[in-house]
Structures are given as structure tokens and as C-alpha cells.
């Protein structure tokens, strides 16, 4: 396991965090608990994002502890010690001696963590940790009422990506783009959703990556279910498939959605909705300007979608009526576009720092170094009974999503190589791999 950043970058992050914490503080960032899938089989382990951010430790059972009770900040990383018998079964560990190469002052065995942390918390007036992530830490702090959540400081820090973080995210977008193209080429009428998922995720694995969230592969009506991930239906001739899939590079996610006809040719109704969603996405990307409010992106996509729905005769009202309350976006266009326009992207696919649908205000101001998604969609599920679905568009679900870097000179689309124009898609689908 190698560090994906120079040690100096981690130390810089730590110093920025410590500058915001009061005297007599202890910060505790535990590794995620191991989760059991069934009996003695665990889920694939993924490190705590804050652990990755502050010191880059990926192994199980680590604890990052920092305290300034002596007047100066000292950092300690507790890790699992070398153990030949366990390593025979589970693989070699870095161990205490190897962990000293990580960006901390000292390392020690996880077996000594309890006594060390107990002293720290007894000597401290302020404890910063996130409860609910580690049963071990939660049990140690069960009687303390002076616990604060460090995310209020860490999350704004994570919003702005460093040049090296952006490089990792560009690589994740490149692999994600290739995976979508691979799946487009492999598509044919009668293909199984699972086969498309296999094409996508197989490419992730071939690139020594893994998915950043369970892949969504929805054919026809399944594409109108926002978080569909059963991926076990056949996609028939004349039907669309919506593929929402991304991967991780050193923990940094990509998140790309494309929609295409499995036979390689859009029908007229499919083309009409696709062109409208693409127009809305391009408007949303154009709104990703340095200094703009987060809500301006959603405003741009919503206006484009609502206007298009009126032009297609799906809505019979004015644009203002279609949008509804301009602060709530609660008009009838929301019957067909139910989610937000995007989210921050980083060490979590729905990354920290605000910017989600339902925020109480206009959202964060866009700044250079932020990475976010723009992902408008329209969904006409023929299965729905809560709203009248036009027969012409029944069964059509389309979303187009790209990963956007905010710069001083305007938005940069990290996933720009992933085809999304109709003529590009029709040339690629079914071309073979």
C-alpha cells in the first residue's frame, strides 16, 4: 500500500484542521468497523474517507489520534501488528514498523490504543470524533458529554481539491468513461442488464479500480427508477438502457450516467426526450461558474426541462407555473424530474460540503477546485399511478451525468470523452469490443 499523496500534503491538511481546534483537544478518527455480509463472510472493506484524507491509511482496524494536551499537536496511528498466523489467512500487514512511513509522528499497536486514548481524553477538555463509526471508540466515550463532530471543519476543507486530488479524479473519470464506451459497444437487443453491468465493472477491475457505488443498469421502465440496482432484466429491441456507474482511484470517485438504445437507434420519442435532457445538462454545466451559487445550476437545468416539457405538450401551463415556487422548485415539471441536479464529488461519491437538494439556503458558492456532478433527467415510468404518463413517452427514462471541475476560467468536464451526442452514441452502440 503506497501513499497517493506526498506526506507534505497530508501534514498540510492536518495543520489546517488543527488551527481550527481549541487548546486541550483530542481528535479521534477510527477506521470503519468491519461489516458482516453473512455468517463469517464480510463485505469488501473500504476505508473511512476522513482517515484517507488525513493520513492515507487503508487497512482495517486503524485509529488516527491527535492531541495538543502538551501544548503541541502530536499525532499517533494505531494499526494491527504483524501476525504470521493471521497473515497466512488474510494477507500481509504493514504493521507498526511499516506504518511509521505514514504522515504521523508515531505509530503503535492497536492493542495499546485503549490505554493511550484513555489518557488523552482524561487530560482533554474537548473531544472531537464522529460517533457511530466505531463501536470500540463509542464504548470508550459512553459517559462523556463534551464530544464535538469534527466534520464541521473537515467538510469545507474537503470541498476544495488540490491539484493532486484532481489528477486522481481525472483518472477515475477516464476509467469510468472507458467503461461506459465498452458497455455501449457490447450492447445488443436482448442483452441482460447484468451483462452491461459486467462490461462496466469488468473494465473497472481491469484498470485496478472498483466501483464507487453499486452500478445502476436500468432498461426501459427500470431506467425510470432512480436508484434501481437489481440489474436482472432483459433489455429488448427498441428499448433504452440507463447506466449510472463510476469507479474509485485512491478513494476518489467518478460518477457518470449515459442512456442509449440497445439496438443503436433512437426512436423519435426517445430522441425528443434525450435532446431535451442533453440541452438541460449543457445549460447546467454552463452555470458552473466561479462565484455562482449552487442553486443556479439547478435553476438552469430546471428552466430548460420545464420549457421543453411545455414545448412537447407534456405540460400545459406557463413556465412559471411549471417551475412553481422559485425557492422550492415544486411545480408539475417535478413529476418527471424528481431529484437534484448534482452533488459534490470526491472521497465520497455524494461528497461532503453541502450542495444537495433540500439545502436550506442557496447552497455553497462555487470556487475553483470544487468537483461536482451535473445530472438532469426525465422519467416516464409506465408503472406509475400517481401521475398521468403520456403514452408516447411511456417507459422512457433518461439521465445524462458528467463530472465537472470548477476553475477560474469556467467549467472543465472531467468526463468529456464519454459520448453523449446522439450521432456519437448511434455510431458506437453495438460496434463490438
Please state the φ and ψ torsions of residue 102, each to the nearest 5 degrees.
-80, 165
List 147's β-bridge partners, or say none: 127
* Distance, C-alpha 312 to centroid of its chain: 33
Contact, 367 vs 361, CB < 8 A? no
Q: 199: how many CB neighbours lie within 10 A of its CB? A: 23
User: For residues 337 and 376, what is the distance between their CA atoms, to the nearest angstrom?
Assistant: 7
Contacts of 62 (CB under 8 A, 6+ apart): 30, 31, 51, 77, 78, 79, 80, 110
* Distance, C-alpha 51 to centroid of its chain: 17
List 191's β-bridge partners, or say none: 235
Q: 220: how many CB neighbours lie within 10 A of its CB? A: 22
Catalytic residue set: 40, 227, 244, 255, 339, 343, 350, 375, 379, 399, 401
User: For residues 247 and 415, what is the distance between their CA atoms, to the nearest angstrom?
Assistant: 12
User: For residues 223 and 233, what is the distance between their CA atoms, to the nearest angstrom?
Assistant: 11
Q: Which alpha helices (DSSP H) does 244-370 contain, by range? A: 268-286, 295-311, 319-323
3-state secondary structure of 221: helix
Contact, 25 vs 19, CB < 8 A? no
User: For residues 232 and 286, what is the distance between their CA atoms, to the nearest angstrom?
Assistant: 36
Amino acid at each position: 500500500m503506497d501513499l497517493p499523496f506526498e506526506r507534505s500534503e497530508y501534514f498540510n491538511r492536518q495543520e489546517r484542521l488543527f488551527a481550527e481546534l481549541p487548546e486541550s483537544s483530542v481528535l479521534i478518527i477510527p477506521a470503519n468497523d468491519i461489516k458482516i455480509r453473512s455468517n463469517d463472510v464480510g463485505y469488501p472493506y473500504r476505508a473511512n474517507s476522513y482517515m484517507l484524507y488525513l493520513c492515507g491509511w487503508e487497512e482495517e482496524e486503524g485509529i488516527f489520534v491527535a492531541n495538543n494536551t502538551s501544548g503541541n499537536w502530536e499525532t499517533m496511528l494505531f494499526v494491527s501488528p504483524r501476525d504470521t498466523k493471521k497473515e497466512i489467512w488474510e494477507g500481509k500487514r504493514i504493521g507498526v514498523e511499516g506504518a511509521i512511513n505514514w504522515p504521523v509522528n508515531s505509530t503503535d499497536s492497536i492493542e495499546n490504543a485503549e490505554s493511550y486514548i484513555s489518557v488523552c481524553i482524561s487530560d482533554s477538555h474537548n473531544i472531537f470524533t464522529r460517533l457511530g463509526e466505531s463501536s470500540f471508540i463509542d464504548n470508550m466515550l459512553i459517559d462523556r458529554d463534551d464530544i464535538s463532530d469534527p466534520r464541521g471543519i473537515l467538510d469545507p476543507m474537503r470541498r476544495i481539491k488540490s491539484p493532486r486530488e484532481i489528477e486522481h479524479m481525472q483518472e477515475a473519470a477516464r476509467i469510468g468513461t472507458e467503461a461506459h464506451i465498452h458497455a455501449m459497444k457490447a450492447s445488443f437487443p436482448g442483452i441482460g442488464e447484468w451483462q452491461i453491468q459486467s462490461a462496466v465493472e469488468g473494465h473497472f477491475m481491469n484498470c485496478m479500480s472498483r466501483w464507487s457505488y453499486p452500478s445502476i443498469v436500468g432498461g426501459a421502465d427500470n431506467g425510470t427508477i432512480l436508484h434501481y440496482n437489481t440489474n436482472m432484466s432483459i433489455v429488448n429491441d427498441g428499448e433504452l438502457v440507463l447506466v449510472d456507474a463510476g469507479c474509485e482511484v485512491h478513494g476518489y470517485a467518478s460518477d457518470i450516467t449515459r442512456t442509449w438504445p440497445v439496438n443503436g437507434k433512437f426512436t423519435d420519442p426517445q430522441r425528443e426526450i434525450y435532446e431535451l435532457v442533453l440541452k438541460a445538462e449543457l445549460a447546467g454545466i454552463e452555470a458552473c461558474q466561479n462565484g455562482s451559487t449552487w442553486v443556479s445550476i439547478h435553476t438552469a437545468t430546471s428552466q430548460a426541462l420545464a420549457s421543453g416539457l411545455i414545448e412537447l405538450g407534456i405540460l400545459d401551463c406557463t413556465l412559471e407555473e411549471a417551475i412553481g415556487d422559485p425557492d422550492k422548485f415544486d411545480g408539475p415539471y417535478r413529476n418527471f424530474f424528481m431529484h437534484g441536479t448534482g452533488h459534490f464529488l470526491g472521497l465520497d461519491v455524494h461528497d461532503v460540503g453541502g450542495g444537495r437538494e433540500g439545502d436550506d439556503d442557496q447552497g455553497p458558492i462555487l470556487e475553483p477546485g470544487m468537483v461536482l456532478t451535473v445530472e438532469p433527467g426525465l422519467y416516464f415510468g409506465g408503472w406509475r399511478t400517481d401521475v398521468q404518463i403520456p403514452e408516447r413517452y411511456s417507459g422512457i427514462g433518461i439521465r445524462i451525468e458528467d463530472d465537472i471541475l470548477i476553475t477560474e476560467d469556467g467549467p472543465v468536464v472531467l468526463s468529456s470523452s464519454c459520448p453523449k451526442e446522439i450521432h456519437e452514441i448511434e455510431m458506437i452502440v453495438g460496434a463490438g469490443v
